[in-house]
């Protein structure tokens, strides 16, 4: 909730005040619309990745990867699915719930 026009649970970088009692993030208000949109492009993908971890549904992993702006700019949908499958396989037992 430190940036008003981003989802409240997004991880954001903001200025902080530091004193003897700790680190205190500063509320930033609203970002200009174009900057909020740019941030939401990445935040939406991150939210989908969290959903994939919670649901343990491989289709949610594919959807999250497809929302990543760089990945979507470089790879076809089929290639994104293959990339995800290869990464899941490479991580072995850590990702066993997603193995086909």
And the tokens for 34?
């174009």
In the block, residue with structure tokens 């949109």: 37
CB 3 within 8 A of CB 29: yes
Rounded to two decimals, what is the model's pTM? 0.74
CB 83 within 8 A of CB 76: no
Spatial CB neighbours of 95, under 8 Å, sequence gap ≥ 6: 87, 88, 89
Q: How do residues 1-48 score in pLDDT, each as one tens digit?
A: 899 999 998 889 999 999 999 999 999 999 999 999 999 999 999 999
Torsion of CA 55, 63, 46, 52, to 10 degrees: 10
3-state secondary structure of 22: strand
Q: List the chain domain ranges.
A: 16-98
Residue 96 above 90 pLDDT? no
């Amino acid at each position: 909730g430190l940036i008003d026009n981003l989802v409240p649970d997004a991880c954001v970088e903001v200025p902080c005040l530091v004193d003897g009692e700790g680190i205190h993030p500063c509320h930033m208000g609203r970002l200009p619309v174009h900057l909020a949109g740019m941030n939401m492009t990445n935040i939406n993908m991150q939210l989908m990745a969290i959903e994939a971890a919670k649901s343990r549904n491989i289709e949610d992993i594919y959807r999250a990867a497809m929302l990543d702006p760089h990945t979507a700019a470089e790879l076809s949908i089929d290639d994104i699915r293959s990339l995800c499958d290869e990464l899941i396989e490479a991580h072995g037992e850590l990702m066993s719930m997603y193995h086909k």
